Amino acid sequence: MSVACNAVRLAIVGLEVGETLPAPLDAHLSTCLRCQVEVVRHTKLERELAALGDVVETAPPSVIDSVAAGIVLGVDPEDEASMNLARVVAATGALVAAAGTVAVVRWMRTRSVA
Amino acid sequence: MTTGEVRPDEKDVLARARAGDQDAFTELVRAHQHEVYTLALRLVADRELAGDVTQEALIRAWRALPKFRGDAKFSTWLHRITVNVAWSLRAKARRQAADPIDSAPHDPVAADLSPELGGEGADLRPRLLAALNELTPELRAVVVLKDVYGWSHREIAEHLSITVTAAKVRLHRARKRLQDQLWQEVEEAS
């Protein structure tokens, strides 16, 4: 790889959106296929990174409950123990709710059998 | 970074939450939890830690809500809190263990993706996510905030407690490493 190719590679990585290479490097670029490939790759990377901003990951279902528990309990975010307590309370609430559902389902089954 | 008024439909809920209405705040949490979690995950590259970051960021938001003036979008304000929490929890995790985040290039997120390094025509996203997770947290944070979330170098420097020059240098290094990793196999194959 030539000195000019190296300079182009370094310059491309630092480019902001819409910025162009300095004239001497641009002149080299117009004649160097390898550097043209680098520009295409940089543009692809730039676009793909920007597009990642539109991708939303799903938060764990426990988030809402643990935040709600944290607020009700008035936990201090600086205090790890109280943050853990909020998680435990949320998890316990979820378990109790699940157990309640099971109990209701069983009760309904016995009613329908009777 | 986008600034401006809160969404009109969110104004009322936000006002109620600021006045101490917990149900209104839960409504806001429901609406924003996924974007907060996504940002946390991009920054810490660990699903469990990202969940903790999300919980803490939202609780901190609740406590700080009376101070929210509304001169930035609510989501932008939440993002700032999330970055601060992610950074401090990451530092805490680092102190507690032998830094599993830094030393775990095959973390759960990357492992889930099991990137196939194909030709240039192959889908870039899974490879990019894997490459991002391979970066050190310092480099990853800068490239995520700048190139994914559009923060300025000044904002990044402020939130990560580094200089603007350091932010620029880290961005340059991060992009270079991503480029190298993304197209390394293509180069080797050709």
Q: Which domains, and CATH codes, for chain B? A: 1-104 (1.10.1740.10), 105-190 (1.10.10.10)
Same domain, A36 and A77: no
Question: Could you give the percent of chain B with pLDDT greater than 70?
Answer: 78
Query: Domain tally for chain A?
Result: 2
Task: Select from A67, A76, A78, A84 the residue whose CB has the most chain B CBs within 10 Å, as the one to mutate to test that interface.
Answer: A67
Contact B13, B28 (CB under 8 A): yes
Average pLDDT, chain B: 82
Sort out which chain B residues have CB atoms less than 8 A from A52's CB and list them. Answer: 42, 125, 128-129, 148
In terms of domains, do A33 and A69 share one? Answer: no
Residue A80 belongs to a domain: yes
**B124 near A CB under 8 A:** yes
Same domain membership, residue A42 and residue A12:
yes
Does residue A41 sit within a domain? yes
Which pLDDT tens digit goes with each residue over B52-88?
999 999 999 999 999 888 778 899 999 999 999 999 8
Residues A66 and A94 in one domain: yes
Domain span including residue A68: 62-113
Residue A68 token pair: 């709600």
Q: How far apart are CA A41 and CA B38, in angstroms?
A: 25
Q: Is the ipTM of this complex over 0.90?
A: no
Tell whether B80 lies on the interface with A, counting CB pairs under 8 A: no
The DSSP call for residue A54 is T
Domain membership flag for residue A88? yes
A108 touches chain B (CB under 8 A): no
Q: Which of chain A's residues have a Cβ under 8 Å away from the Cβ of B119?
A: none
Residues A42 and A70 both lie in one domain? no
Does A30 share its domain with A67? no
Residue A70 lies in a domain: yes
- Determine, yes or no, domain membership for A37: yes
pLDDT at residue B106 is higher than 50? no
DSSP A60-85: PTHHHHHHHHHHHHT--TT-HHHHHH
HSE-CB of A11 using CA atoms within 13 angstroms:
19
Give which of B55, B58, B113, B147 to mutate to test A binding, by max A Cβ within 10 Å: B55
| Residues A41, A77 within the same domain | no
- Residue B97: band (very low, low, confident or very high) from pLDDT cuts 50, 70, 90: low
Give the integer Cα–Cα distance in Å for A71 and A65.
Answer: 10
Is the Cβ of B25 closer than 8 Å to some Cβ of chain A?
yes
- B91 lies within 8 A of chain A by CB: no
- pLDDT per residue over A69-114, tens digit each? 888 888 777 777 767 776 776 667 666 766 676 676 677 777 766 6
Decide which of A30, A52, A74 is a domain's last residue: A52
Q: Is A57 within the bounds of a domain?
A: no
Mean pLDDT over residues B119-138, rounded? 84
B143 touching A (Cβ < 8 Å): yes
Q: Are residues A48 and A67 in the same domain?
A: no
Question: Is this model's pTM higher than 0.95 or not?
Answer: no
- Are both A10 and A39 inside the same structural domain? yes
Q: Sign of the C-alpha dihedral, residues B107, B183, B167, B152?
A: negative
C-alpha closest to that of B51 among A17, A52, A57, A40: A57
Please indicate whether, in this complex, the C-beta atoms of B37 and A42 are within 8 angstroms of each other: no
User: Which of A71, A73, A76, A79 has the most B C-beta neighbours within 10 Å, making it the best mutation to test the interface with B?
Assistant: A71
Residue B22 C-alpha, separation from nearest chain A C-alpha, in angstroms: 8
A102 is a domain residue:
yes
